[in-house]
Amino acid sequence: MSFEPKILGIACNWCTYTGADLAGTTRLQYPQNTRVVRVMCSSRINPSFIFRAFQLGADGVLVGGCHPGDCHYNTGNLYARRRLAVVKKILEFSGMEPGRFRVEWISASEGNKFAEVVREFTQQIRELGPQTKFKITN
């Protein structure tokens, strides 16, 4: 059987999730490997979510938020930007492939961009293969 990646998508309610909605209503085609979880803001994302997702078997994690300066709560994504940058560095230094974690700013009107990013990211994870480093095996 060919490898089907499992991807966790975490999307902010005001921009990326609405953008994903738009991608759906405009009938854009994109791979179904991403399971999207909606959070109210990208700064709601606890870094442990990402580590835990990898442990529980995610092959990739995609985080979507508003463009800097456009946050519904004014400054949420600016904090998130610093926080997620550190997550990236930690994953990298621990030996995880850096390509398995991606952050994108996608606004509510960018349905096209959402579909494009998901397509690209799924392809990238497909090439990287199954994630085995963090995954807990019994």
- Cβ distance 100 to 131 under 8 Å? yes
- Cβ distance 65 to 16 under 8 Å? yes
Using CB under 8 A, which of 75, 109, 123, 129 touches other proteins?
Answer: 75
Which run of H or of E encompasses 27? none
Smallest separation (angstroms) from other proteins to the CB of 133 = 6
The answer to the question of residue 81 lying near other proteins (CB under 8 A) is: yes
Q: Using H for helix, E for strand and C for coil, what is the string for 92-114?
A: HHHCCCHHHEEEEECCCCCHHHH
Are β-strands 60-65 and 101-105 bridged in parallel, bridged antiparallel, or unpaired? parallel
Closer residue to other proteins, CB minimum distance, 69 or 130: 69
Using CB under 8 A, which of 55, 72, 116, 124 touches other proteins?
Answer: 55
The window from 4-12, 29-37, 47-55, 110-118 that contacts other proteins (CB under 8 A) reads 47-55
Using CB under 8 A, which of 28, 36, 96, 128 touches other proteins?
Answer: 96
